[in-house]
Structure 1
Amino acid sequence: MKEPLWRPTAAQRDRAAMTRFIAFVNARHGTSFSGYDELYRWSVTELSLFWADLWDFLGIIASRRFDRVLDEPATMPGARWFAGARLNFAENLLRYRDDRPALVGIAEGGETRRLSYAGLFDQVARLAAALKDAGVTAGDRVAGFLPNLPETVVAMLAATSLGAVWSSCSPDFGSRGVLDRFGQIGPKILFAADGYRYRGRRFDSLARLREIVSALPGVERLVVVPSLDEEPDLRGIPQAVRYADFTAGQAAFPGFVQLPADHPLYIMYSSGTTGPPKCLVQGAAGILLNQFKELALHTDLGRDDTIIYLTTCGWMMWNWLVCALATGATVVLYEGHPFHPDPGYLWRLARDEGITVFGTSARYLAALEKSGARPGREYDLSRLRTVLSTGSPLAPESFAYVYREIKADLQLASISGGTDLNGCFALGNPLGPVYPGELQCRGLGMRVAVFDEAGRAVVGKPGELVCTAPFPSMPLSFWHDPDGAKYRHAYFERFPGVWTHGDWCELTESGGLIIYGRSDATLNPGGVRIGTAELYRLVETLPEIADSLAVGQRWEGDERVILFVRLAAGTTLTDELAERIRRAIREQLSPRHVPARIIAVADIPYTISMKKVELAVRKVIHGEPVKNRDALANPEALDLYRDLPELQR
């Protein structure tokens, strides 16, 4: 049995919002739940009762309460949530109107802007009035091609206050990547910045904006936020107007438009690395309830908290982070490279801003350890109580690093879900222990299981992560998918009537989850499926290895494992190092994990949301085309894998 790395104290358990929610449920239903496991089992058995209780506990603002929580509960897809309700997403995020800090925008280099809850509401009201004057009505698409700025949050809230549908890309997307997304949905208004800063460099966006707007004939206004220059030169850019000019003279707030629970809120996008990105339409009430639950209960976020998440506006964690406004917490928006000018920068920021919840990626934590940083010894992190990690599986070694070098007394919550649901299937549990390499619990109201190849639920064995009952943040539909065929194909063909998420994982005896990687990227030598995360976890602990990527290559009627490694500076891939890698894999994993070839490469390709792209590399080594290279942060890296002589023998 693993030993926990952390347990909450009795005082922490007593203070937790999860404990208050358990008491709320017990009082309402006469139950006697005493801990998370009992509450979870009830939440996935009594779906309607749970989501109704959550609605009331969180104090959802609505002009009309729902008539029924769930229609067609046995139907996936097709279940309908909160029929009869009328509400507005933005109104729920703007429930506070006081002088406490709402947003802290911090740009690379340290420029800081602060906005109170009262100030945030005022800015949203002015922009909403300008959007209404520009003809924006419920159902129109409003898009953002923006850095992680306060204006980005204001634009989203102003648009959704009117019932418009918000969609965003980060400015590091190329023109083709933006058009592959926004070209499908036809935005009426496009918000953009004149550029952004990253790792000490300026990146101008105006040339791309000329190309993008010219290719989007439906855009009636391009509203440009000054990020690089106070007065950006907009000559020659169709429909362009400066942000300050667009909002000048606006005063009367048009009010929060009250809409059905399933009114579209967001259009999100699949990664687009193996074909055109799918446009996922997500509903207002479902996203609000599920994200609010994850933040208020699973993250225990409240008015006294300050939260940061290292994200861009092209990743669903931005949407998740912004929903923290519903809890009344202070949201820190960081725009820039996390290691600029040095690996300690964000921890000085955490110290100075009194951050209590620090959200990041597994890749960042691994890189931080490689850098030799010891934040807990160098900075006062007394306010820090939670570290969140997502994007890829967090290795046990990274768990150990966090507790050794960041802080021994905090909750490390590795969380996992996806853009598809704009939330999580597995999360933190402020009432339970943290075990190395494990996600603490399945999310309340999410009937998550692990299926074997025959569709049987298993515990303690790897399999497919599934959800066997509807949940409110399921996509309403895919854009341009009138009969739902693309939607059903994406999630419901593997096990009919069951959501198959595409993660290869294991449900542990303690109720936690271990994620081994994407199931479509698992290795399959000799017919035995192996998660890539297991390899990365081991290989990347070696000091000579800066990064790695593993794929399966079709070979002589079977599949063999190919391991690509990006070496640390000053290191070469010698026969001795290759043998040491193989020996470590053989002894610590299994002989089946041992790669047939180990090949040094100069770079590992990643998506814009910083996920390794095994499938695209697999296509390249098999001579197959890779579509939508603009979905990658470093598309040129794919060329490094083409026609490698090592793969021909």
Structure 2
Amino acid sequence: MSRLLWQPSETQIQSTSMYRFMTRVNRRYGTSFDDYGGLYQWSVDHISEFWKEMWEFAGIKASASCSAVVDDAGRMPGARWFEGTRLNFAENLLRFRDHRPALIFRGEDRVRRTLTYAGLYDEVARVASALKEAGVRPGDRVAGFVPNMPESIIAMLAAASLGAAWSSCSPDFGIKGVLDRFGQIKPRVIFTADGYFFKGKPIDSLARIADIIGRIPSVERLVVIPYVSRTPDISAIPSAVMIDDFKSTADGLEIEFAQLPFDHPLYVMYSSGTTGLPKCMVQSAGGILVHHLKELILHTDLTREDTIFYFTTCGWMMWNWLVSSLATGATLVLYDGNPFHPSPRTLWQMAQDEKITVFGTSAGYLAALQAAGVRPGEDFDLSHLRAVLSTGSPLSIESFEFVYEAIKSDLQLASIAGGTDLNGCFALGNPMGPVYAGELQCRGLAMKVFAFDDAGKPVVGQEGELVCAAPFPSMPIYFWNDPDGKKYHDAYFDVYPGIWRHGDYIVITEHGGVVMHGRSDATLNPGGVRIGTAELYRQVEQLEEIEDSVVVGQKWKNDVRVILFVRLAPGVALTGDLKNKIRKAIREHASPRHVPAKIIPVPDIPYTLNMKKVELAVKKVIHNQAVKNKDALRNPEALDCFAGIAELQED
């Protein structure tokens, strides 16, 4: 049994939106739920009723109502949601127009900028007017090659107000990585900053974006946002215009929000692209809106009184998720730059100064914070902080315990997991429930999630494939350039017809929590015994001698053997004693069947641009297979370290 780390008081439980929603369901449907388990089961058994109640509870604005919530809750893919509804995504995020702060921007330049809800509306109106004047219409694409700054959100909302689909990449993407994405969807307008800061250094974006737009004929206008320079030189880019010269200068503009169907395209998101050209996943305005509000209002308990922060770039779905917080009236804190610059305490100083109540980050950041010896709860006033969110990779038991020991003992730690594909979560936080070390608190409401064993049967308490057996509104409406739906089908439905297979390996616990064990296509299977790679990382990376690691299965003598690559801490050598220490930790605390056959030092570990380890790419390299798209990696040169290692040819 996992160790209980936190339990909300009865007063805390009854103050949550989740509790109010549960009370509403009990009153309207004659049920008597008193905990999350009962509410969850009702939500997956009554999917249409759940989403109807969620829509009303969130106060979603629409100009026409639906004929039915879902036409067939048993069809996946292909279920149609809220047919007949007409709405606008941006209108729902801009429902507040007062002088409370909407956005607070903090970057490495240390300049603090604040924009109120009234100011945000005004800025969106000016840019929307300019986009309309430029000929942007519903169905067009507008893209951003942008840091995580207010202008990025303004541009997205302006595009969405007109019914254009938004797509963004972080400016640390390479030229080919951007072309592989934007080149497919053919945007008419691209927004870019002149550059960004990283580790205290300004990095130019204009040379790269000039090259990029030169290769995308559809781009008619490049709108440049000054950031690293007040007066960037754009004279060499024929289609470029400064944002202040682009947007309308009129005062008191009212936005004409295009009223569009529920399934009108809102976002184009991308797969990582590590195995080929990135898949372009088109997501609907209504689907993203109602799904995000479920997660923000119920599972995160976000209100107007909150100040929410998530460390993310505009190339990660957590940016889209964070932006939807505007619909609740909360204050969003945006940060762009290195979270450890100028010190590991940077974000916690900001959390104190801005009185952040919900702090979102990645499992990798929390592990690095612990390794750096930082104890934010001792150094800063975090009295306002009530929740820490973590995603990106499985959060280890040690990191769970670190949060409660070194950050704050009385808060909700919500480890969340889902994906870009759904722009949301399959499993996440429950403000009414306990937190157990190593466990995500719950499966998301109306997400019919199971762990399937090898026979395709649901199991509890043992590892299996994460599947979702019923449709949900934020499913992609289609993939770009996939007219017959084959790419879409093959991505999720080729193993279990009519059931979404996500590609994660999980355990659903007896009390309804979820333990993540890594990607199922990267699980280790020597001798036919499977284990998730996350279980090995947990043991290896808590050793002070190891900074990072990646583990893969190598085909060997008609079986698979486990190969562990480690990046050592400075000054550490991989001695026989250290190898024995690593093997002992894995044997005793993870699995004796998965002790590495080889432990090999490497200078670096490859990551995607969204900071996920690329086990599959490493596996391809050691098997002398081509890695198709290295531009999807943050540090593609790291893969060279894994080629031609003589030790891998030895017993």
Whether these two folds match at TM > 0.5 is yes
Report SS of the residue matched to 2:432: coil
Deviation at residue 206 of structure 1 after TM alignment: 1.1
| Structure 1 consecutive aligned stretches of length 4 or more whose deviation exceeds 4 Å | none
Matching of residue 538 in structure 1 with residue 566 in structure 2: no
Q: CA deviation at 1:646?
A: 1.4
Distance in 2 between residues matched to 1:11 and 1:94, nearest whole Å: 32
User: What is the letter of the counterpart of residue 373 of structure 1?
Assistant: V
- TM-fit CA distance, 1:648: 1.4
**Equivalent AA in structure 1 for residue 641 of structure 2:** L
The one-letter code of the counterpart of 1:549 is V
CA change 1:238–1:524 in 2 (3 A) is: farther
1:365-514 correspondence to structure 2 within 5 Å: 365-514=366-515
Which residue identity does 1:10 align to in structure 2? E
Q: Which has the higher mean CA deviation after the structures are superposed, 521-530 or 401-410?
A: 521-530
Q: TM-score, normalised by structure 2?
A: 0.99
Tell me what 1:566 maps to.
567
Map 1:109-124; keep pairs closer than 5 Å: 109-124=109-124
The answer to whether the 8 Å contact 1:198/1:336 transfers is: yes
> What's the CA shift for 1:227?
1.2
| Conserved 8 A contact 1:399-1:436 | yes
Structure 1 letter corresponding to 2:202: R
Matches within 5 A, 1:136-155: 136-155=136-155
Distance 2:642 2:525 in 1: 20
SS of residue matched to 2:40: helix
- What is the CA distance between 1:627 and its match in structure 2? 1.4
Find the counterpart in structure 1 of residue 40 from structure 2: 40
Residue-by-residue CA offset, 1:526-555 (whole Å, 9 max, x unaligned): 111110000101100000000110011111
Task: Give the equivalent residue in structure 1 for 2:209.
Answer: 209
Q: Which residue of 1 aligns with 2:177?
A: 177
1:246-261 correspondence to structure 2 within 5 Å: 246-251=246-251, 252-261=253-262
How many angstroms apart in 1 are the aligned matches of 2:147 and 2:161? 21
The CA distance in 1 between the partners of 2:247 and 2:475, in whole Å, is: 35
| Corresponding residue for residue 290 of structure 1 | 291
3-state SS of paired residue (2:102): strand
SS at match of 1:166: strand
CA distance in 2, matches of 1:253, 1:631: 40
CA–CA distance in 2 between the matches of 1:459 and 1:305? 36
The alignment partner of 2:6 has SS state of coil
Partner SS, residue 440 of structure 2: coil
- Give me the whole-angstrom Cα distance separating, in 1, the residues matched to 2:613 and 2:274: 11
Counterpart position of 1:524: 525
User: SS in structure 1 opposite 2:5?
Assistant: coil
In the TM superposition, 1:598-613 aligns within 5 A as 598-613=599-614
Q: Which 5+ residue runs of structure 1 have no aligned equivalent?
A: none
Structure 1 residue 302: Cα displacement: 0.4
Measured after TM superposition, the shift of residue 2 of structure 1 is 3.0
Report deviation, 1:234: 0.8
Query: 1:108 corresponds to which letter in structure 2?
Result: E
- Would you say 1:316 and 2:317 are equivalent positions? yes
Deviations 1:285-344 (A, max 9, x none): 111001111011100000110010010000000000000101110000000100001111
Cα distance, 1:72 vs structure 2: 2.3
Q: Does 1:14 find its partner at 2:14? A: yes
Pairing 1:231–2:231 present: yes
Q: Deviations over 1:558-603 (max 9, x none)?
A: 1111101111111111111011101111111122111011011111
Q: Which amino acid aligns with 1:478?
A: F
Stretch deviating more after TM superposition (175-184 or 238-247): 238-247
2:203 & 2:617 partners in 1: Cα distance? 27
Shift of 1:248: 4.2
Contact 1:213/1:237, CA 8 A, preserved across alignment: no
Q: Distance in 1 between matches of 2:24 and 2:57?
A: 8
Task: Provide the rounded CA distance (Å) in 2 between the counterparts of 1:235 and 1:99.
Answer: 37
Structure 2 counterparts to residues 189-204 of structure 1, below 5 A = 189-204=189-204
Q: Is the 8 A contact 1:174 1:630 kept in 2?
A: yes
DSSP 3-state at the match of 1:333: strand
C-alpha contact 2:462 2:508 (8 A) present in aligned 1: yes
Give the equivalent residue in structure 2 for 1:168.
Answer: 168
Q: How far apart in 2 are the matches of 1:412 and 1:645?
A: 44
SS in structure 2 of the partner of residue 630 of structure 1: helix
Give the corresponding residue for 1:3.
Answer: 3
C-alpha contact 2:199 2:342 (8 A) present in aligned 1: yes
Q: CA deviation at 1:238?
A: 3.1
Q: Contact 1:127/1:250 (CA < 8 Å) preserved in 2?
A: no
Q: In structure 2, how many angstroms separate the alpha carbons of the residues matched to 1:313 and 1:250?
A: 29
Task: Determine the structure 2 residue equivalent to 1:97.
Answer: 97
Counterpart residue number, 1:363: 364
Q: Which residue number corresponds to residue 86 of structure 2? A: 86
**Partner amino acid, structure 2, of 1:348:** Q
- Contact 1:491/1:500 (<8 A) preserved: yes
Give the AA of the match of 1:222.
Answer: L
Of 414-423 and 63-72, more deviation after overlay is shown by 63-72
Query: After superposition, what is the alpha-carbon deviation per residue over 1:107-137, rounded to whole angstroms, capped at 9, x for unaligned?
Result: 1142110000000000001100000000000
Structure 2 counterpart of 1:185, which letter?
Answer: I
Deviates more, 1:329-338 or 1:626-635: 626-635
Q: CA deviation at 1:250?
A: 4.2
Partner Cα distance (2:3, 2:581) in 1 = 29
For the 8 Å contact 2:583–2:595, the answer to whether it is kept is yes
Superposition TM-score, scaled by structure 1 size? 0.99
Q: Distance in 2 between matches of 1:292 and 1:554?
A: 45
Aligned counterpart, 2:620: 619
Structure 2 stretches of 5 or more lacking a match? none
Task: Check the 8 A contact 1:104/1:114 in 2, yes or no.
Answer: yes
SS of equivalent residue, structure 2 residue 24 = helix
Distance 1:74 1:29 in 2: 22
- The answer to whether the Cα contact below 8 Å between 2:97 and 2:117 also exists between their aligned partners in 1 is yes
Quote the Cα distance in structure 2 between the aligned partners of 1:314 and 1:181: 11
- Once the 2 structures are TM-superposed, how far is the Cα of residue 253 of structure 1 from its aligned partner? 3.6
- 2:314 corresponds to 1:327: no
Structure 1 position 249, deviation (Å): 2.5
Residues in 1 aligned to 2:75 and 2:529: alpha-carbon distance in whole angstroms: 33
CA distance in 2, matches of 1:134, 1:89: 21
Q: 2:481, 2:72 → 1: CA distance?
A: 24
Partner of 1:158: 158
Q: Is the 8 A contact 1:130 1:250 kept in 2?
A: no
- Counterpart Cα distance in 1 of 2:476 and 2:54: 20
Once structures 1 and 2 are overlaid, which stretch shifts more, 102-111 or 182-191?
102-111
What residue number does 1:29 align with?
29
1:454 CA displacement: 1.0
The 8 Å contact of residues 183 and 216 in structure 1, kept in 2 or not, is answered as yes
Aligned residue for 1:482, secondary structure, equals coil
Could you tell me whether the CA contact under 8 Å between 1:129 and 1:250 is conserved in 2?
no
| Deviations 1:483-524, CA, capped at 9 Å, x for gaps | 101100000011111000000000000100000000011111
Q: Which of 241-250 and 343-352 deviates more?
A: 241-250
Paired residue type of 2:54 = L
CA contact (8 A) 2:109 2:197 kept: no
CA distance in 1, matches of 2:556, 2:222: 51
The CA distance in 1 between the partners of 2:27 and 2:316, in whole Å, is 39
Shift of 1:632: 0.8
Q: Deviations over 1:77-115 (max 9, x none)?
A: 110000000000001111111100000011114211000
* Percent sequence identity over aligned pairs: 64
Give the Cα–Cα distance (whole angstroms) in 2 for the partners of residues 590 and 40 of structure 1. Answer: 33
1:30 Cα offset (Å): 2.1
Aligned pair 1:219/2:219, yes or no?
yes
Q: Give the conservation status (yes or no) of the 8 Å contact 2:129–2:248.
A: no
Cα offsets for 1:242-282 (capped at 9, x unmatched) = 11110142454441000000000000000000111000000
In structure 1, the residue corresponding to 2:381 is in which secondary structure? Answer: coil
| Change in 2 beyond 3 A, CA 1:254/1:431 | closer
Match of 1:241 in 2: 241
Deviations 1:183-234 (A, max 9, x none): 0000000001111101111111111111101001000100011111111111
- Between the two proteins, the alignment pairs up a number of residues equal to 649
Q: Distance in 1 between matches of 2:349 and 2:301?
A: 24
CA RMSD of aligned residues (A): 0.8
Counterpart Cα distance in 1 of 2:320 and 2:255: 24
